[in-house]
Amino acid sequence: MITASALGSFALIVGLLTLTPGLDTALILRTAALGHRRRAWGAVIGIQTGTLMWGVLTSLGVTALLTASHLAYTAVRWAGAAYLVWMGGRMLLSTLRRGPGAGTDDGADAPDADDSFRGGWRRGTLTNLLNPKMGAFYVAVLPQFIPEGASHLAMGTLLAGVHIVLALLWAGVLIAFARVLRGGLQSRSARRILDRVTGTVIAGFGVHLALGD
């Protein structure tokens, strides 16, 4: 059985990873700041669904095969990069198509106009699963905390659960913070700026993923 010390060390590592600003943070903040609370929580649960799947796949040894195969890793990396560039580019194009008098996410042409939990979940899950660096992280870290003789699947799922709990707590803080920001996003120009910044950040992550090793 894993010791409390090892569990604490793992929690510290994934806690720092969770607190580091990144794609997940941008996605949650942007969605929640626009008032899409259900969609924001859908994205949060989707991201954690991906985290759980990475934990299970790593425990079963599947992720090790992915990271060991240059072709498979590259295929996932390019798929993830293309998805992120598409997502970010769609946000940017939607702000350019609308004139100064048009809305942002309340229009029919907005990339995610509805406050749909399912839509947020789908986006969060795809964003997480199409990031092979998440799999590489789990391959590098997770096995170190699984005691010899213990069930890899059970312990891997437990450790992924610790990561998920910490991420859910942090997501709650982000969504609460975004609700405070929402008051300053009532104007259409402010919403366009938010979409342009978020779209640039997401597309930038995609380009970085494509050009990374």
**pLDDT tens, position by position, 95-115:** 886 554 444 444 334 455 567
Whether residue 99 lies inside any domain: the answer is yes
Whether residue 12 lies inside any domain: the answer is no
Whether residue 4 lies inside any domain: the answer is no
Whether residue 141 lies inside any domain: the answer is yes
Most confident of 149-158, 163-172, 193-202: 163-172
d(CA 188, CA 102): 7
Whether residue 164 lies inside any domain: the answer is yes
Whether residue 134 lies inside any domain: the answer is yes
List Cα–Cα distances, 213 to 28, 184, 208, in angstroms.
27, 39, 10
CB 77 within 8 A of CB 209: yes
Percent of the chain with pLDDT over 70: 89
Query: What average pLDDT does this structure show over 169-181?
Result: 91
pTM of structure: 0.83
Whether residue 13 lies inside any domain: the answer is no
- More confident: 103 or 201: 201
Residue 159, both tokens: 């450790």
Whether residue 179 lies inside any domain: the answer is yes
- Total structural domains in the chain? 1
Percent of the chain with pLDDT over 90: 40
| pLDDT range class, residue 18, cuts 50, 70, 90 | very high
Domain region containing 149: 26-211
Average confidence score pLDDT of the chain? 85
Q: What stretches of the chain show up as alpha helix (H) in DSSP? A: 4-19, 23-33, 37-59, 62-68, 70-97, 117-129, 132-141, 152-181, 188-211
